[in-house]
Amino acid sequence: FLAGKTAIVTGSTSGIGLGIATAFARAGADIVLNGMGDPKDIADERDNLARNHNVDVIYSNADISKPDQIAQMITLAEEEFGGVDILVNNAGIQHVAPVEEFPVEKWDAIIAINLSGAFHTSRLVVPGMKKKGWGRIINIASAHALVASPYKSAYVAAKHGIAGFTKTIALELAEHNITANAICPGYVMTPLVKKQIPDTAKARGISEEAVVRDVLLAAQSTKRFVEVDELAALAVFLCSDGARSITGAIMPVDGGWTAH
Ligand code: NAD
């Protein structure tokens, strides 16, 4: 049902973003992949998506912390596909440290990528969406858009910020048939989470097994990690006609974590 539509998914060379891009391609959308990684792996991902789902896929290496590179990515999408119908702001990084030791450059990078990047992509795609009279903006926030955890000050600040940004643009765009929503995953076992297990163990002075059991899954009542395909299914639904009245929603997919 997304044939003829174009979706940009930032940070789609790995993890949740790649899962969402794949689900959109399966539904028929042309895709702009974006993110870091080995050029050979990215070329393979791009070829697989295009071949398996018979859609057009282009890649932009835009660094989402750089507004000028974001502008180039949006221009590329408009030139190749004639516009952007679906925007998923998914690129994100994490750093775990006590606030008094938090590296200033990590704070700045997390705010730039996890929060400001979504402002820049959104402000640049909205004029085209308004012209078409249709659009979907989906921000991949986090359970950390709703609750905090210690040692993640920059991430929690950025994710709470993205929730506020989502609600604000939802109000501004509602009459244009453009929805804006935030999906708030609990823990998903992607490279982003794998990388923070040793740091969390160090910050809390506990073993890596204890981090998984007593920190990551402590509040996730299902006691299992959320799977990428669950998030992709919700993203696809949000693009459907049945979801046209869902806007400004901050939607937890977190195994009950934020119900506590
Ligand atoms: P991941 O590390 O697997 O993927 C992150 C993606 O972002 C990669 O494609 C990476 O190349 C890209 N990226 C990083 N910095 C970038 C930059 N400067 N410019 C462009 N791309 C960049 O992580 P993931 O777990 O799939 O995370 C995706 C999103 O989901 C993030 O916003 C994250 O905060 C959010 N999230 C993840 C979890 C989880 O448990 N994994 C939970 C809640 C929210």
Tens digit of pLDDT for each residue in 205-251? 999 999 999 989 999 999 999 999 999 999 999 999 999 999 999 99
Q: What is the pLDDT of residue 203?
A: 86
Helices (H) and strands (E) in the chain, counts: 9, 7
Q: How confident is the model at residue 24 (pLDDT cuts 50, 70, 90)?
A: very high
Q: What is the pLDDT of residue 192?
A: 84
pLDDT tens for residues 77-87? 999 999 999 99
pLDDT tens for residues 25-76? 999 999 999 999 999 999 999 999 999 999 999 999 999 999 999 999 999 9
Of 58, 53, 60, 75, the C-alpha closest to 2 is 53
Phi, psi of 14 (to 5 degrees): -160, 160
Q: Atom 44, ligand 1: which residue's CA is nearest?
A: 142
Q: What is the pLDDT of residue 218?
A: 93
Q: What is the pLDDT of residue 200?
A: 87
Instruction: Name the percent of the chain lying above pLDDT 90.
Output: 96
Cβ atoms of 84 and 8 closer than 8 Å = yes
Give the Å distance between the CA of 186 and the centre of ligand 1: 13
Evaluate whether the domain defined by 6-188+226-259 bears CATH number 1.10.10.10. no
Task: State the average pLDDT for the chain.
Answer: 97
Q: What is the pLDDT of residue 196?
A: 85
The whole-number average pLDDT for the span 185-198 is: 92
Domain boundaries of the chain, sorted by first residue: 6-188+226-259
Q: What is the pLDDT of residue 66?
A: 98
Pairing of strands 135-140, 250-253: unpaired
The whole-number average pLDDT for the span 86-96 is: 97
- Whole-number Å distance between alpha carbons of 96 and 144: 13
The residues assigned a catalytic role are 155
Cβ atoms of 166 and 208 closer than 8 Å = no
* pLDDT higher than threshold 90 for residue 199: no
Residue 35 CB–ligand 1 contact under 6 Å: yes
Q: Atom 21, ligand 1: which residue's CA is nearest?
A: 35
Give the Å distance between the CA of 92 and the centre of ligand 1: 4
- Whole-number Å distance between alpha carbons of 69 and 46: 20
Pocket test for ligand 1, best of 9, 13, 16 (most atoms within 8 A of CB): 16
**Lowest mean per-residue pLDDT among 17-31, 130-144, 189-203:** 189-203
Q: What is the pLDDT of residue 8?
A: 98
* pLDDT higher than threshold 90 for residue 195: no
Cβ atoms of 184 and 160 closer than 8 Å = no
Which ipTM did the prediction report?
Answer: 0.99
Give the Å distance between the CA of 13 and the centre of ligand 1: 9
Instruction: Name the percent of the chain lying above pLDDT 70.
Output: 100
